[in-house]
Each structure stands twice: as C-alpha cells, then as structure tokens.
Structure 1
C-alpha cells in the first residue's frame, strides 16, 4: 500500500524536472539582464561574468565539492536528488538561450520574475528532499559543529557575493539584483512551512 505521507519516485522526478527547469529559465532571465544573485548560483554567475565561461558548466563544477559533505550531513538520497537537479539545471541553462529570447525586458520586472520563478523552483526541490546549491549544506554543517545559525552563514555569503559583484557591475545593477534575491527569499520564507506541508 502506498504511504500517503511520502512522495513516490514519479513525484520526485517531476519535482526535480520542474524545479531544475524553472531555475534554468530564471537564470536565463538573470544573465540576459546582466544581473547577479546570491548563494552558489550567484558565485557561478560571477565566475561566468568574470571569465566568459558558460554558467551551466561553472555551476555544475562549483557544486561538486559540496556533495561529500551533503552525503555525511544529510544523506545519500538528498545528494542523489541534488546531483540530478544540478545536472539538469546546468544542462538546460546551456540550451535555454537558444530557445528563449527577450526583445524587451525591463530590469526591475526581470529581477522580480527571476525571484518569483526561482522561489517556486526551489520550493519544489526542497519539498522533495533536494536543493540546487552547496552553501546551504555548509551552513547546516557549521550550525551543527559550532552553533552558528545557518541563516547567518547564508546571509554573510550573500553579502560577500554582492560585494564582489560591485567589481563587475555598477551599483544600480547590483541594487536591482538585490531586489531579485529578496523576492526569492520572500517566496521561500512565506511558503516553505513544514507545519503546513506534511508530505516528505
């Protein structure tokens, strides 16, 4: 008999496909506008801008060191799902610019769209035991080891990312980018509630 409180393999597969696909589309919007974001994706975006390398391969490579820690801290199921999600997102981020173009996209509207789409993508992945980045894993590990709150670690990482962004982008672009990051976090903060979502 199927456990009504657990996701099936098909449930997980569609969530990974949706989450990774929407995240890749959101990154297409972000990089089209020359904006930046936080967390591991933000680091990959900055490396991409600084080197000219494609976001997809950089994002995939940046995440590699975190899987071992995720395996030890959270477990193999999480690492496997996250590896799949990162792989799918990286691949789609390479091909989306060939499939999607924008004749006119206001940067502020684009930042909000990026935030909303990214937030929904991450929600789908979180609710199915996956993620798209390694910074969260490190944050949880540090919290367990030292007691330093995971949220503060992620915030400090984002502060560094946006400070570095000022060396590659003007202040107005970074400010608009911060709006997009704020929308991502608001979507997650309002909707990612374990007390309201019981399936795992």
Structure 2
C-alpha cells in the first residue's frame, strides 16, 4: 500500500495566488528595510537598488524594466507557466515596494539587525515564490540559460554577477554599508540553501 501524501501534487489557483502574493510582499518588505538602511543586495534587485541610489529613480520602475529582457529566456528555459508567474511576481514587487514605503516607518533599526531581518524576510519570500513555480526573474534565469547552453554552472554565473554588484557598491556606498549588505546576502543564501529542498516539499 502506497502513501499518497508523498506524491507530488499541483497547487490550486488559489494556492498559487496566495503564495505569489506572500512571496512578493515579503520581498517588498525586505527591499523597504534594505533601502531605508542604505544597503544593497545581489542579483537583479541589487543592481536596481544601486541604480535607484545613483539616479533617484524608483526602485520598482528600475527593477521592472531590468527584468524585461529576461522573460524570453525564462519562457525558453522554464516554460510559459513559470514566465507568467514570474512576470506577476516582478510586477507585484515593483508596485509593493513603493506602496509599503508609504505605510511603514522605523524609529530605530540598526544596520546589522536590519541586514539579518532583511535576509530572513527576503529568503522566506523567495522560498514561497520558488515553491509556487515563480521567481523574481533576472540573472537567475540567465544563469540557468547559460548553464544549458555552455555548461557553465548557474551558481558561478550568479556569484560573478553578485561580485560585480558589490564591487560597484563600493563606489556608491560607505564600506560599512557594503559589509552589512554582505551579511544580509549571506542570510538570504543560508535560508534558501537550508530550506529549499525538493524532498521536503513535493507540491508544484
């Protein structure tokens, strides 16, 4: 006799909606904390944050535009369902970061505490998106595409990109802000590395 509870099952539409909304909201809250402290992060979001610091443009608008070139790669590599969900998640994050910034203020938030909380919140948001077949687009999609085409490991591509983002941040932010930013990025990666395992979560 087999245990049906161990078999993968598809998420319902309602489950996908709440999962993507939760993930995008958590990511948006994390970005509000990040930008309040004047920190930066990796991946496409980090590049968008840096551009917003330098130009004064809205993070949400910059992030949305930066992701546009990657959707075709997402469709080619992951399919239409993933691409649509990712587009929705990116659009939600772009809107929510602006909205949440008008709803939340901080009297006291130290950089190291904010970096850790930011990492935890962003990590939980990304986990929710991954588990509902979505992402926040950008470099992660490119990394998977290059891995398919060239064999160059996706993780190395993302690591190289993040190194470039943090190197550029040294010309924009104080050194200690970059150090606290690295702490936040470390927490994000730990949350995902420890919790994102297919054998622990079998729904799709």
CA contact (8 A) 2:71 2:137 kept: no
**Structure 2 match to 1:150:** 154
Q: Hey, which bits of structure 1, 4+ residues long, moved more than 6 A?
A: none
Deviation of the 1:78 alpha carbon: 0.5
2:119 maps to which of 115, 121, 130:
115
| Counterpart Cα distance in 1 of 2:65 and 2:147 | 25
Deviation of the 1:4 alpha carbon: 6.6
**Structure 1, unaligned stretches of length 5 or more?**
none
Deviation of the 1:133 alpha carbon: 2.4
Name the SS of the counterpart of 1:64 in structure 2.
helix
1:11 to 2:15 alignment: yes
**Structure 2 match to 1:100:** 104
**How high is the TM-score relative to the length of structure 1?**
0.97
**Structure 1 match to 2:164:** 160
2:81 maps to which of 77, 81, 84:
77
Name the SS of the counterpart of 1:105 in structure 2.
coil
| Counterpart Cα distance in 2 of 1:111 and 1:72 | 35
**1:35-92 CA-partner distances (Å, limit 9, x unpaired):** 0000010010011001000111111111111001111111010010000001111001
**How high is the TM-score relative to the length of structure 2?**
0.95
CA contact (8 A) 1:41 1:133 kept: no
Deviation of the 1:156 alpha carbon: 0.5
**Structure 2 match to 1:62:** 66
| Counterpart Cα distance in 2 of 1:34 and 1:28 | 10
**1:167-188 CA-partner distances (Å, limit 9, x unpaired):** 1001111000000000000000
1:173 to 2:140 alignment: no
**Structure 1 match to 2:187:** 183
| Counterpart Cα distance in 2 of 1:160 and 1:34 | 18
| Counterpart Cα distance in 2 of 1:187 and 1:72 | 28
**Structure 2 match to 1:43:** 47
| Counterpart Cα distance in 2 of 1:107 and 1:133 | 27
RMSD: 1.0
**Structure 2, unaligned stretches of length 5 or more?**
1-6
